[in-house]
């Protein structure tokens, strides 16, 4: 019997190695196929086939050079070593971030209203993705009902503005407080659950909130929604114009990114990451996992309490149709695409999943197909996300500082 088991294990190991070799060998062809499928709606089958052939040759040539060009690799490694010795590499990310910030600041000066509208929506989703990243990326708790907090924030501002006459800045603290409280209320019964069971509870919470908003006609106007929401103003200056509202969302996104980044490298953030990596080990080290999970749900839902009023102020109308289960899935896809736990990657994933469908709007019949294929290829060749795992080395280095 032991001999048969060892033979079965050897066969399974051989099969796994063969499958990995097949994937490694066909990786250039699969990449070329993905780009040709994306190109298909624009130029037709013939041009896509030609593109597939050209890209296959290019990718296989690059793979050949990568595997056999040892002299070229040595030269590149020497140059890269010199760059690292001169510490030029450390200046590259700040320069890139500064240029990106400058471009975003100057965008309203020359962009059309349509582009500004898309960028505003991308900024709101980036705030939501950063908030969900606290729960899913830092703490490792799967949340499929994050759109419920988004809806609570939007409806809180809409009701306070339309029925009570409160402005944006007066209603914003109440919206944030309500979403934080709802996050704690959701976390209390869900703390004993993990994995799929926690996901089912959060999914049920999201559907409960949506159904309440859809059926409470006397308060929320049911499926007809709430209209007539006023735009925010600052020192008597209305921010309703797209170029002004763009800067409001931009400031909110920068604030969200900065605060979440500071919390990530704080004692609370490190406790969240410890819980994500090994909850039992975190308990043995004296971390109160119950308390820090409550912190994660409350802190993560806080940002939905900011993004919701921004969305309501931009659209000047809210309805339950804007906060379905697919919104939660979309926000979760942004976090996964950018990389769990990566702040820059999450923002990048949000911008990609908002802007790319708009770019492919001219081929509406194929754009979701292209996005789906892109996400599948991403999970195959980059399962950690676009920038997933990049910040771990930095955190470990900071933890070693005296």
What confidence score (pLDDT) does residue 398 get? 43
Q: Do residue 21 and residue 163 come from a single domain?
A: no
Segment 320-336 shows an average pLDDT of: 89
CA angle 250, 255, 258 (to 5 degrees): 125
pLDDT top residue among 88 and 341: 341
What confidence score (pLDDT) does residue 199 get? 86
Whole-number Cα distances in Å, 314 to 5, 112, 353: 63, 17, 19
Q: Do residue 80 and residue 153 come from a single domain?
A: no
191-200, 239-248, 343-352, 377-386: least confidently modelled range: 377-386
Most confident of 1-10, 182-191, 365-374: 182-191
Print the domain residue range for 286. 113-399
Q: Which residues of 324-350 are buried (b: 16+ CB within 10 A; e: fewer)?
A: eeebbebbbbbbbbbbbbbbbbbbbbb
* Percent of the chain whose pLDDT exceeds 90: 23
What confidence score (pLDDT) does residue 6 get? 57
What confidence score (pLDDT) does residue 92 get? 58
In a domain, 108, yes or no: no
Segment 278-293 shows an average pLDDT of: 87
In a domain, 54, yes or no: yes
What confidence score (pLDDT) does residue 336 get? 87
Helices (H) and strands (E) in the chain, counts: 16, 4
What pLDDT, in 10s, does the model give residues 11-33? 555 666 666 666 666 677 777 77
Q: Has residue 64 got a pLDDT over 50?
A: yes
Tell me the pLDDT band of 397, cut-offs 50, 70 and 90: very low
Q: Do residue 153 and residue 210 come from a single domain?
A: yes
Q: Do residue 234 and residue 361 come from a single domain?
A: yes
Tell me the pLDDT band of 401, cut-offs 50, 70 and 90: very low
* Chain Cα centroid distance, residue 213: 26
Q: Give the three-class secondary structure for 342.
A: coil
* Percent of the chain whose pLDDT exceeds 70: 74
What confidence score (pLDDT) does residue 12 get? 54
In a domain, 107, yes or no: no
Q: Has residue 40 got a pLDDT over 80?
A: no
In a domain, 381, yes or no: yes
What confidence score (pLDDT) does residue 345 get? 87
Distance, in Å, from the CA atom of 337 to the CA atom of 78, rounded to the nearest integer, reads 33
At 112, phi and psi to the nearest 5? -80, 165
In a domain, 243, yes or no: yes
DSSP single-letter state for residue 198: H
What confidence score (pLDDT) does residue 79 get? 62
Distance, in Å, from the CA atom of 45 to the CA atom of 369, rounded to the nearest integer, reads 16
| Predicted TM-score (pTM) of this structure | 0.77
Q: Has residue 188 got a pLDDT over 80?
A: yes
Distance, in Å, from the CA atom of 39 to the CA atom of 366, rounded to the nearest integer, reads 10
Q: Do residue 262 and residue 359 come from a single domain?
A: yes
| pLDDT, the chain, mean | 79
Q: Do residue 67 and residue 26 come from a single domain?
A: yes
Q: Has residue 4 got a pLDDT over 80?
A: no
Q: For the domain that residue 118 is a member of, what is the CATH number? A: 1.10.3470
Q: Do residue 237 and residue 358 come from a single domain?
A: yes
Q: Do residue 237 and residue 324 come from a single domain?
A: yes
What confidence score (pLDDT) does residue 395 get? 46
Q: Do residue 278 and residue 357 come from a single domain?
A: yes
pLDDT top residue among 116 and 52: 116
- Altogether, the residues listed in the chain come to a count of 402
In a domain, 96, yes or no: no
Structure tokens of 192? Answer: 């004993």
What pLDDT, in 10s, does the model give residues 240-281? 788 888 999 999 999 999 999 999 988 999 999 998 888 888
Q: Do residue 54 and residue 136 come from a single domain?
A: no
In a domain, 10, yes or no: yes
Structure tokens of 248? Answer: 């409001």
What confidence score (pLDDT) does residue 379 get? 72
Q: Do residue 22 and residue 150 come from a single domain?
A: no
In a domain, 100, yes or no: no
Task: Give the helix, strand, coil percentages of the chain, each rounded to 5.
Answer: 80, 0, 15
What confidence score (pLDDT) does residue 399 get? 43
Domains held by the chain: number? 2
Q: Has residue 129 got a pLDDT over 90?
A: yes
Q: Has residue 84 got a pLDDT over 60?
A: no
Q: Do residue 74 and residue 136 come from a single domain?
A: no
């Amino acid at each position: 019997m032991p001999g048969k088991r060892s033979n079965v294990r050897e066969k399974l190991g051989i099969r796994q190695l063969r499958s990995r070799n097949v994937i490694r060998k066909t990786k250039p062809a699969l990449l070329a196929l993905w780009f040709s499928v994306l190109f298909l709606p624009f130029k037709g089958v013939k041009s896509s086939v030609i593109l597939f052939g050209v890209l296959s040759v290019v990718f296989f040539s690059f793979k050949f050079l990568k595997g056999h060009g040892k002299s070229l690799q040595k030269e590149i490694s020497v140059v890269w070593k010199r760059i690292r010795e001169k510490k030029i590499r450390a200046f590259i990310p700040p320069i890139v971030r500064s240029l990106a910030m400058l471009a975003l600041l100057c965008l309203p000066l020359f962009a059309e209203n349509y582009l500004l509208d898309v960028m505003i929506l991308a900024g709101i989703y980036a705030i939501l993705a950063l908030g969900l990243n606290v729960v899913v990326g830092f703490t490792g708790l799967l949340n499929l009902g994050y759109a419920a907090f988004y809806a609570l924030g939007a409806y809180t501002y809409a009701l306070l503005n339309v029925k009570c006459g409160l402005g944006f800045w007066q209603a914003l603290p109440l919206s944030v407080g309500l979403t934080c409280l709802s996050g704690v209320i959701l976390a209390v019964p869900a703390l004993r659950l993990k994995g799929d069971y926690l996901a089912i509870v959060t999914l049920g919470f999201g559907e409960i909130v949506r159904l309440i908003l859809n059926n409470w006609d006397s308060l929320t106007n049911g499926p007809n929604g709430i209209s007539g929401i006023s735009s925010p103003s600052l020192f008597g200056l209305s921010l309703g114009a797209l170029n002004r509202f763009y800067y409001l969302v931009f400031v909110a996104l920068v604030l969200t990114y900065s605060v979440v980044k500071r919390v990530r490298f704080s004692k609370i953030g490190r406790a969240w990451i410890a819980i994500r990596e090994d909850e039992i080990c975190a308990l043995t080290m004296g971390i109160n996992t119950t308390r820090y999970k409550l912190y994660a749900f409350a802190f993560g839902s806080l940002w939905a309490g900011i993004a919701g009023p921004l969305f309501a102020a931009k659209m000047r109308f809210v309805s339950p149709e804007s906060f379905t289960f697919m919104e939660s899935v979309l926000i979760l896809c942004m976090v996964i695409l950018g990389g769990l736990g990566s702040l820059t990657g999450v923002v990048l994933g949000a911008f990609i999943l908002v802007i790319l469908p708009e770019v492919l709007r001219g081929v509406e019949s194929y754009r979701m197909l292209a996005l789906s294929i892109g996400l599948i290829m991403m999970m195959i060749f980059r399962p950690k996300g676009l920038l997933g795992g990049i910040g771990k080395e930095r955190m470990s280095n900071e933890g070693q500082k005296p």
